[in-house]
Structure 1
Amino acid sequence: MAHQMKGHSPAQHSSDILHQSKNAPFCPMKMAIGGFAVVVTIGYFTLYSKKKPEATALDVAKVVSGTAHHVNTHPRK
């Protein structure tokens, strides 16, 4: 005697797509801004960890934001 599996057959669930909800739990714009903030933070700390001893945290921030000038990127004498 063959045992039958309890529950529904796969054909009955063909309209469900991995039980995903219709809407995302967060606003896409907020997720994009949050992702951008995470990337910038990781970039800042990566550059900060590789900076030369004579560079300040402000110099690194200027390089990350793209506002650094020749004076900020060369060693002070």
Structure 2
Amino acid sequence: MAGPHQAAQHSTEVLHQTRKGPCPVKMAVGGFVMAATIGYFVLWSKKKPEASALDVAKVTTGVAKPENTHPR
């Protein structure tokens, strides 16, 4: 059991933290990856039947050419 002399050794701060918070760069990269993934699946769900998953990926990344977006 703790005695009265042991209570004086603890910090009197109420909101002290023992470890660092999350890194803002990692959170930004994670958010970007999540947004890109959601965007890909939205485009994939609305694609035309003749479009392949690779065509959707090209449109998502912005490297698609007209032959990737027009029916074959």
Instruction: Tell me the residue number matched to 1:42.
Output: 38
What's the secondary structure of 2:22's corresponding residue?
A: coil
- 1:38 is aligned with what amino acid? M
Shift of 1:25: 2.1
Instruction: Tell me the residue number matched to 1:55.
Output: 51
1:24-56 per-position Cα deviation (integer Å, ceiling 9, x unaligned):
621100000000000000000000000000000
Runs of 4 or more above 4 Å deviation = none
Give the share of equivalent positions with the same residue, in percent: 60
Q: CA RMSD in A?
A: 1.9
Q: TM-score w.r.t. structure 1 length?
A: 0.68
Is 1:72 equivalent to 2:68 in the alignment?
A: yes
d(CA) in 2 for partners of 1:71, 1:55 = 11
5 Å-filtered alignment, 1:24-43, equals: 25-43=21-39
Q: TM-score w.r.t. structure 2 length?
A: 0.72
Count matched residues.
58
- In structure 1, the gaps of 5 or more residues are 1-15
